[in-house]
Chains A and B, each alone.
Chain A
Amino acid sequence: MNTRQTHPALEQSARAEAWRGFLDILPLLGGAAPFAILIGSLAVDRGLTPTEAVLMSATVYAGGAQFIALEQWAEPLTLATGGLSIIAATALVNLRHVLMGAALAPHVARLPRRKRLFFVAIHTDETWAIALRRSAGPGLTTPYVMGMIIPFYLQWWLFTGLGAVSGAWIGDPAQYGFDFVFPAAFLTLILGFWRAIPDALGRQSIVIAVSLGVALAVHSLVEGPWYIFSAGLAGAATGAALWKPESGPEPA
């Protein structure tokens, strides 16, 4: 994945890489757009102006947190009557990004600094997962990452704006199965991770099984999004526990 090659080849491969990144995120983009429209119309419903709705999608840029915030949105909103608790809920829902950012770090280490930080600063479940899949295969390049994250970012606030100004309710995204694009895509990604690491001892399978069990248990016992954080840590602990000194080459 050396991107410092002769100029014409570099340009051509950069364009191809950006296009590849765009195509890889496209299904998830198609699944997310109806939810951005829904968030836009929900925001206006809750008394936000379209500009405020778009500002939220462009700066917060986190669907799950935005839904929960808008559900709690009261009018008139003050910091004491809901504002601070909305911010706290946002932090909690997005706590998983602490682990996701850590997991992403070694995979983006070779990208140029600014673009690397840009990606980390706006990574979503979708772009994070697609980047990791690419990294496990042909490797991550800057144009690939940009071709993936910029369209995904732009669609989110553009479709939020559309939902906010049209006011036209496109209906429940679940009616057309849009809500299932994300889980279905993530299932194929898990399968990809499971296949990508040839592991006679089945470590990856054990990690996935432990995470599944912990997620189910914590989800049923603890209110809120703690199940993702707990299962992520449990998976990491499992990976550490299964590690053996001879289990692979060790780059210093």
Chain B
Amino acid sequence: MTQDIFTLGGVTTAVILGMAAVTLATRLSGYALARRIAFHGRLKAALEAMPAAILTAIVTPLILLEGPAEAIAGALTVLAALRLPTLAAIAVGVASVVGLRLIGL
């Protein structure tokens, strides 16, 4: 097996580089487009609303659709974050999800 460590297969490398190319395209294209547009008024408001909307969209199924442990731990994280520093709130979330999973939720 050890002689295989440094092997790069032709098709495998091609697929990996294809994945890299499309990923780079997604990362740069929206940025390049936004650079070309002057954002004012309503359009600017749309752009400014996106970060919170995207964050919410990414996190929604991870909290609400995984099961009771994640949902409860998510609620505890938010409550903790209202009072505690970020790191402590994350620690509360992680500790509670581990605990809740241990008791079978």
Contacts and interface: CB of A to CB of B under 8 A. Distances in A.
Partners in one complex: yes
A140 interface: no
Contacts of A219: 60-61, 65
Given A49-B4, A65-B19, A87-B18, A184 B93 contact: yes
B96 to A, nearest CB: 9
Given A177-B98, A212-B60, A184 B55 contact: no
A29 interface: no
Interface stretch (A2-10, A11-19, A115-123, A149-157): A115-123
Shortest beta-carbon contacts, A-B, top 6: A235-B53, A239-B49, A184-B93, A231-B57, A101-B31, A59-B20
Most chain A beta carbons < 10 A, residue from B50, B51, B82: B51
B39 to A, nearest CB: 7
Contacts, number: 289
Most chain B beta carbons < 10 A, residue from A51, A174, A184, A237: A184
Interface residues of B, number: 75
Interface size band for A: 35 or more
A243 B58 contact: no
Nearest to B2: A165
Given A193-B52, A211-B60, 4 more contacts: A98-B29, A101-B27, A129-B55, A191-B82
Contact of B46 (A65, A186, A239): A239
A200 interface: no
Most chain A beta carbons < 10 A, residue from B15, B18, B78: B15
A184 B89 contact: yes
A101 B34 CA distance: 8
B56 A208 contact: yes
